[in-house]
Amino acid sequence: MSNSEIVEVLELTAKLLELHNADPFKIKGYSVAAFYLDKYKEGELQFMTEQELTKLQGVGKSTATKIAQIAKTGTFPELEELIANTPLGVMEMFNIKGIGPKKIAVLWQELGIDNLHELELACLNGTVAKVKGFGANTQQKILDSLAFLKDQAGKLRMDKAEAAANSIINELKKTFEQVEAAGEIRRKSEVVETIRILVGTDSPALLQNTIGSIGLLVQDEKKSSPFVWRGNIQDVAVAIEIVAVKPERLVNELFLETAGEDHLGLAGTSGNTIWRHAYYETADTEHAIYEKAGLPYIVPEMREGAGELAWAETRTPDQLVTWDDLRGILHNHSTYSDGQHTLEQMAVYCRELGFEYLGIADHSQTATYAQGLKVEDVERQHEEIARLNARFASENPAKPFKILKGIESDILGDGSLDYPADVLASFDYIVASVHSNLSMTLEKATARLLKAIENPYTTILGHPTGRLLLSREGYPIDHQVIIDACAANGVVIEINASPWRLDLDWRWIAYCMEKGVMLSINPDAHAMEGYLDMHYGVANARKGGLTKDMTFNALNLGQIEEYLRGRAARIG
């Protein structure tokens, strides 16, 4: 380990100790050592004995012992313990400019924020500025820093990757006619490691020159060849490949560069793999490749080798859900809790987009960090909904737009919902979600969710694992047991469409459909424009093979009201 790496470990230790409010003396020991060793250039710390180390400025006896351990193993037990007691998302806050461990501790302990996504929401809705010692300036600094951090790391969420790919594609289209996204982007993967773009051209040299003239693209010359440009966008670590393909081979290469390996290995009735057909026989369309292999056509997003052939035995691609199939938007927040727009703004914009209903689902009372609704807030909101619905009915009596009274009820630690039964009964529908005490064993998390699913007031299970892509792993659950319970209790499962979540994971959609569990594509919008996240939800749903007839919010207003009346009648 180099000196600077050792210094980094000492600095991290000091920060974690401060975050956990440790003895200031102890914190100082590490930070002073890091300060002086950062300037020390005379020797290599990793080869020094403890005795030699203690002679250096700023290094005490116990720090010397730790340095020797770090040099050998990269860490030491006390640091490991600190890391184990700190959520990954809180550690990520160390990368934010303008707030130190003390402020991070306040965000974590007082506001319950343990990841960058919730921190961003809390800044956007002004919660952070109100905390003592923060203010509007600090809040803005955090937002700026978060925007910067999001563009980092080696992987990108699908929303960011798509935006980056489109900016390159638009530039290339000024010169070339045939420019196509392939790979994970075309397969609609929730997380992208490589942005792959194919360009149909007889002149690879022209392509290289064109790429060279696009600003912000940084080439990795060692990995590039005359036919394949490899590199990245400045300050964005995700890998980019731009491939020159002969125009007559474009369909074949697009197929080969899109499908996952397991899909390429699928054997057709021809006796050969689909890879062989695509590689050796020039085709005009991707449909023709499947035909030659004797296989049903599979849409690009499903080409994973994850059961798509079994799916296609009884279904056709035109049954897959599309944005146009969606009739309403469930699970949305307003200024009643932590949203940015009023209930009226949310409803009017929903109607403008052509939907028949808005399901509002603000946070429930226990979610104090998100201004969860007290019982009197619920009553106030229900009165406003009645007023707005009356107005909508008068504006279009033939086909009135309607707000459905929902709530996103916290699933409490013991699995119960967040209001007494009479309040729960006053909602049209309930999304039940876990937001607190996220570190659980698989057994505990599964039991907690099961109790919520068995609660007769639960309509939809919200973001089942609580994951935040590239930021928080989510608690472990037994998916099969959870889905079986939803089937037994008639509970719908959410596909949370926020590109941060995409939870339920698409890999479990087929099992839900097999068990007759409907899925709801919910944007979890905290502002009007959040509705558009349903594009990611639809893409992810299609990747998992979700059909229109199994999509809950593809039900029209009449159908969904009938469904909800049926649920309510069951409770009696």
Task: Tokens 């698409």: give the residue.
Answer: 506
**For Zn ion, the closer CB: 123 or 245:** 123
Shortest Å, Cβ 463 to Zn ion: 6
- Spell out where 473-554 has E strands: 492-496, 519-522
C-alpha–C-alpha distance, residues 139 and 228, integer Å: 43
Contact 539, 506 (CB under 8 A): no
Residue range at the interface with Zn ion (CB under 5 A); choices 278-286, 366-374, 407-415, 539-547: 407-415
**For Zn ion, the closer CB: 257 or 524:** 524
Is 362 a binder of Zn ion (CB under 5 A)? no
Is 118 a binder of Zn ion (CB under 5 A)? no
C-alpha–C-alpha distance, residues 425 and 262, integer Å: 48
Contact 538, 325 (CB under 8 A): no
Task: Tokens 């060279």: give the residue.
Answer: 212
Residue range at the interface with Zn ion (CB under 5 A); choices 131-139, 210-218, 224-232, 429-437: 429-437
Is 337 a binder of Zn ion (CB under 5 A)? no
Six token digits for residue 86: 């700190």
Is 86 a binder of Zn ion (CB under 5 A)? no
Backbone angles phi, psi at 403, to 5 degrees: -95, 130
**For Zn ion, the closer CB: 19 or 504:** 504
**For Zn ion, the closer CB: 304 or 524:** 524
Q: Which of 232, 258, 433, 446 binds Zn ion (CB under 5 A)?
A: 433
Is 428 a binder of Zn ion (CB under 5 A)? no
Amino acid at 443: E
| Residues with Cβ within 8 Å of residue 184, at least 6 apart in sequence | 161, 191, 192, 193, 194, 195, 196
Please list every residue from 185 through 244 that binds Zn ion, using CB under 5 A.
none
Residue range at the interface with Zn ion (CB under 5 A); choices 53-61, 234-242, 286-294, 432-440: 432-440
Task: Tokens 């005795």: give the residue.
Answer: 51
Which of 197, 167, 193 is CA-nearest to residue 469?
193
**For Zn ion, the closer CB: 200 or 372:** 372
Shortest Å, Cβ 112 to Zn ion: 13
Residue range at the interface with Zn ion (CB under 5 A); choices 201-209, 266-274, 401-409, 535-543: 401-409
Please list every residue from 285 through 314 that binds Zn ion, using CB under 5 A.
none
Size of the site for Zn ion (CB under 5 A): 3
Residue range at the interface with Zn ion (CB under 5 A); choices 8-16, 88-96, 433-441, 500-508: 433-441
Shortest Å, Cβ 332 to Zn ion: 8
Contact 418, 366 (CB under 8 A): yes
Residue range at the interface with Zn ion (CB under 5 A); choices 85-93, 108-116, 168-176, 428-436: 428-436
**For Zn ion, the closer CB: 190 or 241:** 190
Which of 80, 72, 78, 103 is CA-nearest to residue 27?
78
**For Zn ion, the closer CB: 311 or 500:** 500
Q: Which of 340, 524, 542, 543 binds Zn ion (CB under 5 A)?
A: 524
Shortest Å, Cβ 566 to Zn ion: 25
Q: Which of 92, 304, 408, 410 binds Zn ion (CB under 5 A)?
A: 408
Contact 124, 526 (CB under 8 A): yes
The burial class, CB within 10 Å (0-12 / 13-18 / 19+), for 283 is middle
Using alpha carbons only, give the angle 314, 319, 320 rounded to the nearest 5 degrees: 110
Which of 489, 409, 415, 412 is CA-nearest to residue 446?
415
Chain positions contacting Zn ion, by CB under 5 A: 408, 433, 524
